[in-house]
Every structure is written in structure tokens, then in C-alpha cells.
Structure 1
Amino acid sequence: MSEKILFVFEGEKTEHVIARNFISHYIQKENKTVIKISFCGEIYQLYKKMSEDDFGIEFVDLFPLLQERDENLKKYKRDDFSQIYLFFDYDPHATNASNSILNELLDVFCQETEKGKLFVSYPMVESIRCYNGIEDNFMDLLINIDEVAYFKQTVNSYAHKKYNNVPQWTINIWSEVIDLHCRKANLIVHSKNDFPEREVPQDLILTKQIEHENKSNNVIVISAFPLMLLSHYGEKTASILQNLA
């Protein structure tokens, strides 16, 4: 029997499209089945829903809440899944956006084998394809908060045509993009433009994001998907990318 992993997405469409090849290349090859569901709301709406519990969000059982949001999950029990990964956007332009809330959620969702592990895309999911083919440009790429609302249009015009259509990416492109995002995370947090030997913690990326925000009102451009893979495989990630490319 294959191991089941649950992916919880913010939206109903884009994340599912992006994840299709990502999962087939890097997750399902090891006799693992990924079940994908949608929360259909921002990370800050998830917090609001959880905070309605009188005992505090650290005691909330996420699984029944997710079953309410996506009927496809009702045929499963929590014990059916060995791991839960949540993929949400930073969305600083959201009316209820809050770095303190996000930091609290990262503290709660920090273990995939328990409540789940949260991974954040800055500023949103489209960051996975925001690459013009020039590495130095990507490593330095920031977006002003005032422009985040137009980020999807920005990516459409900024990204090189090779990277703009994610469903057509080959495994070589995926490996290239994963390498870029993981090295950027290492550069952001540890000031090293090397592929990290272990995961780069999400709370440390948020800390660096807050620094950028306070200093220049800018948002880092980095995707959740490569960092989830880095967390999932740890020190094996680099060799997996090389062997599959």
C-alpha cells in the first residue's frame, strides 16, 4: 500500500496546475500518493477560522476544518496521511494581512507528520515562474508591496517564454527552477549562494521578509514548492535533482 501525503492549496486552480508535474517527477516516484485539496481562502482566513476555537489555534484539529472546505477529503481520516503540507501565499495586499499572524501559523504548522507543515510563496504562487532566464536578476528580485496586486500581470510580461508555461515544463526546467529557489532561500537567510544541505526554515525567511518590508517596502520573490521539496528530502535533495535531470 502506497504512502498517502496531503497537499492543501490556497486556491482551486493555479496550485493544482503547478503541482501536477512537480508531484509526478519528485514525489510519486517513491510509491507515494499525493491527495490534493483546496482551502479556497487566504492564509489569514485560515487563521480567522482557527482562532474561533476557544482553546487557541495551537489546539485546533485542522483536519475536520479542511473536510468542511473540500468534500473530496471526507472519505479520508487523518490517520490515512503520513504527512500534510500546506501551500499558501504571502499576499501582503490582503485586507487582513499580518506578519504576526503568519509567524504564529508557522509556529503551529511546523511538522508535516503532526498538524502539518506550512510553506509560503512570496508574494504569491506565481513566483514559481517569475524568472527571465538571468540568474543574478532572480537572486536580487524583489517586488514593491504597492505592485503586488498586479503581480500576475507582471510575471506574464517578465518571465522568459521558456518558464512562463509551467504545465509544459520538462523535468530539466523543474530541476533548474528548484535549484534557483533553494539557493535564493539560502542566500536570503544565510548569505550563501550555494544549494543548502538542509531545509531553510520558513520562519527565518519570514524574518528576512519583514526586514525587507521595513527597510524598502519590498517583497521577496520565492516559491513554496522548491522549499517543500528541500524540507521533504533534506540533504538528499541535490542528488535527487541531479539524478532526475
Structure 2
Amino acid sequence: MSKKILAIVEGEKKESQLLNRLFDTYKERRQIVSYGANLYDLYERIRSYYGDDLEDWDFLLFLREQEADEEKKKIFDDRYTDIFLVFDFDPQDNRFSPTAIQTMMTYFNDSTSNGRLYINYPMVESCIHITSFEDDSYLFSYVRLAELGQYKTRANKESCCPDITQYDQKIFSNIIRLNLVKIQRLLKRNERPSGDLYDILRTILTLQIDLLQRKAAFYILNTCLFCIYEYNPRMIDWLERK
């Protein structure tokens, strides 16, 4: 039986391309099955369907019942080793709600059951928004709320690694390492995060929301690449050699 990962994503093309390249690069043969959704639409539908009682809920069954397209329904009849939800931290969305996004982070805490939520700040292009692997400029990079409309252009212009299709293990490992070290710095920890990062992802989300509310800005950070770091313990050894 082929091993499959279900990726619930905002933009089916970019995120799927990135995840497929990531798992192929590390020789983790998994078929990525993508399903497009909006974080806030999902939140509203889940709350409407289940209310506050999510103790025994079945996310795939819920998605199947909510999907009107008969072909897309078939996606949820399959079996998956993991479910990843990859969404943008997008304060420009007119439905943006700290309560909603924090609640969704609470709902989706385990990739092997109902799913693990990864938020990219401000969006998936944060994975390419590194000007150099030779200095620590990325550790201090941030984006202002007023600049979000031009962020994709800025990320591509300033990137030292704009072409995802050319990423190899060295590039991916360096990007993951930089994001881990950035989190270590933001949380003022003595050691780089390792193991299950769920509590750290929740803490980072709270920190970013606080910065947004106080300064109308937040740190550039990519977390969706952590799925391979959490999934494959060998990643720790590779990163320690960098």
C-alpha cells in the first residue's frame, strides 16, 4: 500500500510543490494529496457543525460530508499516514481572527490523527525569503502589516534561493536550521528546538499575534518545513552536522 500524506492547503500549487520536493529530497517516499481550503472557512464550518464538542470528532468524515464535489469526496475515503494543514498568517484577510487561528492550532495538534497545523509567517514564500546562508540577517527579519501587499515580490527579489525546484538536502536543511535558530532566539531558549514542536508552534503563534497587535509587524518565519524535521528523526543528526 502506498504511503500518502493529506495536505490541507490554501494554495494547492505552491504548497504541494514545496512538500513534494521536501519529502522527495529526503528520500521519504510519500504521495502528497492536496486539498484546497481556507483556514477561516474551515473554522466557521467546524464550529457550526460541532460547536464546542470535538472530543471524538473525525476530521476526514467531516470534510467528506462538507464537500459537494463527488470526485473530491473520494479523497477522504483513502488512508493517510499524516495530515498536514498549511496556512498563511494573513492579517489582511477580512476574516482574520486571533481567536480563530489559535483555536485551530488547538484542534490540529497531531498529524497522525486529525492533523497538525503549520502557520507560515506571513505566507509560504517565507521559505525562500533568505538573503544569505552565510550571515544571521534572517534571524532578525520581519515584515510590517503595511508591506504585506508586496511581500511575494520582495521575497523573490531578496532571495538567495528563489527556485524551489532546485532545492536539495543542503538548502532545505539550512532553511530549517535557520528557522529553528530563529525560534530559539525569539523564545530566548538555550537550546535549539527538537522533537515534537507543537507547544513551540503554539507559543510562536501567540508571540506573533502579540507583535502584530502592538507593532503592526511580525517576524518572517516558515514552519511548514518542520513537518519533515518532526517526521524524520534523522533530520536532527543532519542539522547537527551543519
Report the TM-score, using the length of structure 2 for normalisation: 0.85
Measure the CA separation in 1 of the matches of 2:53 and 2:187: 27
* Matched letter for residue 126 of structure 2: S
Contact 1:37 1:73 in 2 (8 A): no
Task: Give SS of 1:222's match.
Answer: coil
The residue type paired with residue 83 of structure 1 is D
8 Å contact from structure 2 (residues 25, 168) kept in 1: no
1:10 corresponding residue in structure 2: 10
Is 1:202 equivalent to 2:201 in the alignment? yes
User: Which amino acid in structure 1 is aligned with residue 11 of structure 2?
Assistant: G
Aligned to 2:45: 49
Aligned Cα RMSD in Å?
2.5
- Measure how far apart 1:69 and its partner are: 7.4
Once the 2 structures are TM-superposed, how far is the Cα of residue 23 of structure 1 from its aligned partner?
Answer: 1.5
Gaps of 5+ in 2: none
Superposition pairs of residues 79-98 of structure 1, within 5 angstroms: 80-98=79-97
Aligned to 2:119: 120
- Asked whether the 8 Å contact 2:4–2:33 carries over to 1, the reply is no
Distance 1:73 1:220, change over 3 A: farther
Aligned counterparts, 1:148-159, within 5 A: 148-159=148-159
Q: Which moved more, 1:172-181 or 1:2-11?
A: 2-11
Alignment partner of 1:184: what SS? helix
- Identical residues among aligned pairs (%): 24
Change over 3 Å in CA distance of 1:75–1:130 after alignment to 2: closer
Measured after TM superposition, the shift of residue 147 of structure 1 is 1.2
Letter in 2 for 1:111: D
The gaps in structure 1 that reach 5 residues or longer are none
Q: Which structure dedicates a bigger proportion of its chain to helix?
A: 1
Following superposition, which runs of at least 4 residues in structure 1 exceed 6 angstroms of deviation?
A: none
Deviation at 1:57, TM superposition (A): 6.8
Aligned-pair CA distance for 1:49:
2.1
- DSSP-derived class of the 1:219 partner: strand
The aligned counterpart of 2:25 is 25
Residue 62 (structure 1) aligned with residue 34 (structure 2): no
Question: CA separation in 2, counterparts of 1:103 and 1:81?
Answer: 25
